[in-house]
Amino acid sequence: MKIKEYRTQFIAELTPIYDATEAESFFYLILEEKQQLKRIDLALQPDLVFTDEAILVWNAILKSLKLEIPVQYLLGKTSFYGLDFEVNSDVLIPRPETEELVDWIINSQKSEGENQKIKILDIGTGSGCIAISLAKNIPNAQVFALDVSEKALAKAQKNAVLNEVNITFLHQSILETVDLEQEFDIIVSNPPYVRNLEKEEIKKNVLEYEPHLALFVEDNDALIFYRKIAELAKKNLSDSGQLYFEINQYLGKEMIDLLEKMNFKNIELRKDIYENDRMVRSTK
């Protein structure tokens, strides 16, 4: 079968579940990964064909996509802040909003100067996307990454090797941590923040396949991770050290109130590309 014909069939079978643009983007992601062909190759060579073996592989992927398994898990990889990351169901798929948080930190450090050595801690590192992107782009940083999940840390360690950065990985539960036992200049976290009451807003591909441990908190204590991390930051941030969070879009005011009550300074709330309250920075 011509690849061009299969493309039409592929998109048609997915459009009851995904919009046509998303279905088409899946097709070209898979085409590049499985056949090492880009959109331009297909445009220039419209008579390219799939082998019978290739069609079997594609049909299996198509079946999984119909079950709404994330395409990133099917391919085992994704991109984040210009870097490649391996992903599986042990880690969340990195989001564009988190890239904005990383970009904020990197640009802030550029304005601070690049000569002085700094220490950064990423709490709840998952795939390692935040820690690794910071290590790659802030050459004067010594980066640490912490997670409660051994499986997530194993994937993060592989991603650190893949991206040729040195990260110190820590396996511990932040909720059970009394003291981080060293001082950091920056602490950053994208902790679980989706309340159970918000599950109805979550797409099936996230709700059924991404790790709930990294996503959800109880409705009656939605800021549990932020409060604990802020408490540790009061002890373990250097003087004028900075605390960055990705946050629940509905809890911006509550986050500011929490940080103000804990006497953090220079609190700044930022919106993401979708105009949702999404990240906050404060100073010890």
CATH of domain 90-283: 3.40.50.150
Pairing of strands 141-147, 77-80: unpaired
Beta bridge partners of 186: 120, 242
Beta strands in 148-248 (DSSP E): 167-171, 184-189, 194-195, 216-217, 237-246
Residue type, 85: F
Residue type, 104: W
**Predicted local confidence at residue 114, as pLDDT:** 65
**Predicted local confidence at residue 113, as pLDDT:** 65
**Predicted local confidence at residue 132, as pLDDT:** 98
pTM: 0.93
State how far the alpha carbon of 130 is from the alpha carbons of 32, 95, 145, in Å.
Answer: 25, 11, 9
**Predicted local confidence at residue 116, as pLDDT:** 82
Q: What is the mean pLDDT of each run of 10 residues along the chain (284 residues)?
A: 96 94 96 95 95 96 96 96 97 96 94 80 98 96 97 98 98 95 97 92 90 92 97 96 97 97 97 96 97
Closest CA to 230 of 220, 219, 242: 242
User: 160: exposed, middle or buried (C-beta count within 10 Å: 0-12, 13-18, 19+)?
Assistant: buried
Look at residue 160 and give its three-state secondary structure: helix
Look at residue 51 and give its three-state secondary structure: coil
**Predicted local confidence at residue 227, as pLDDT:** 97
